[in-house]
Amino acid sequence: MTSGKTLLVVGSGPGIGRAVASIFASKRYTNIVLLARRLESLKQEQAAIETVTSGVNVKTYAVDVTDSVAVGEALDDADAALGKPECIFYNAARVLPSSFFDHDVQDIEYDFKINTSALYLLAKRYVPHLVSLARADQLAKPGLIVTSSALPLQPIPQLFALSLVKAAQRNLVQSLNMTYGPEGVHVGVINVAGIVSPDEPDRNPTNIATRTWQWFEEGKEFEVVI
Ligand SMILES: NC(=O)c1ccc[n+]([C@@H]2O[C@H](COP(=O)([O-])OP(=O)(O)OC[C@H]3O[C@@H](n4cnc5c(N)ncnc54)[C@H](OP(=O)(O)O)[C@@H]3O)[C@@H](O)[C@H]2O)c1
């Protein structure tokens, strides 16, 4: 097994996922695990991170986060190769327009799995480990960070499905924070309150990742709003 601290990014892509992985790698993590569905895009993410951070070990897994068996197998392999993560960045989501009443209920259920059921299973797998880390090492920074948005409190009817699953996700993360925050695990949300674009002065991926690192390093608050 490789030495060094491990960051697990669930939902690796060219926006927030890549920027957070790159900045977190430059600050603390020598091992990065990237999980998303598309193999080709994961190769690009791996190359992008390796380009900006020398000496980093990146492993990629092309799995759908809603496939709990495949995710379990992938993470067993990642844990054996790089060690269990000290920090988990949960970023997976899709933006599928949904309007009343032509939206398929199965699409609501799939979005719920991506944002909430799969996050629950990931927390079940790793939170006990994060609590152990917090107890064993005062310098450890065990964390579970979830990318959220304004949708939980300000739903958009044309995105009602994403709005409701993001509300459920935030609620789950709040409960996890109330339970495991006192145990020394930094559980919280990055509240990206608008569209992300490289042209946005605040909500560009690099600034979001920089603010995320600052918030995580301080280790106090449940959320940061960007
Ligand atoms: N972009 C925005 O305007 C915006 C605004 C507010 C909040 N957010 C939040 O930010 C997060 C995403 O950041 P981003 O938009 O910049 O995207 P990103 O980091 O560029 O990429 C996210 C990646 O998640 C992966 N993903 C989606 N569904 C998945 C699944 N079922 N299983 C595994 N991986 C999956 C996708 O890769 P594959 O297709 O290869 O699976 C996608 O590339 C989401 O939580 C979103 O709600 C985004």
The pLDDT value given to residue 60: 98
Which atom from ligand 1 is nearest to the alpha carbon of 91? 45
The pLDDT value given to residue 142: 98
CATH of the domain at 150: 3.40.50.720
Domain total for the chain?
1
In a domain, 1, yes or no: no
Mean pLDDT of the chain: 97
**Is there a contact between 176 and 143 (Cβ–Cβ < 8 Å)?**
no
At 158, the amino acid letter reads: Q
Which of 91, 162, 206 best tests ligand 1's pocket when mutated (most atoms within 8 Å of CB)? 91
Ligand 1, residues at Cβ distance < 6 Å: 11-17, 36-38, 41, 64-66, 91-94, 114, 147, 149, 192, 195-196
> What does the pLDDT average to over 209-226?
97
> What does the pLDDT average to over 124-129?
98
**Domain assignment of residue 185, given as a range:** 6-225
pLDDT digits (tens, 9 = 90+) for 77-111: 999 999 999 999 999 999 999 999 999 999 999 99
CA 86 to chain centroid, in Å, comes to: 13
**Separation of CA 207 and ligand 1 centre (Å):** 17
**Separation of CA 138 and ligand 1 centre (Å):** 32
In a domain, 201, yes or no: yes
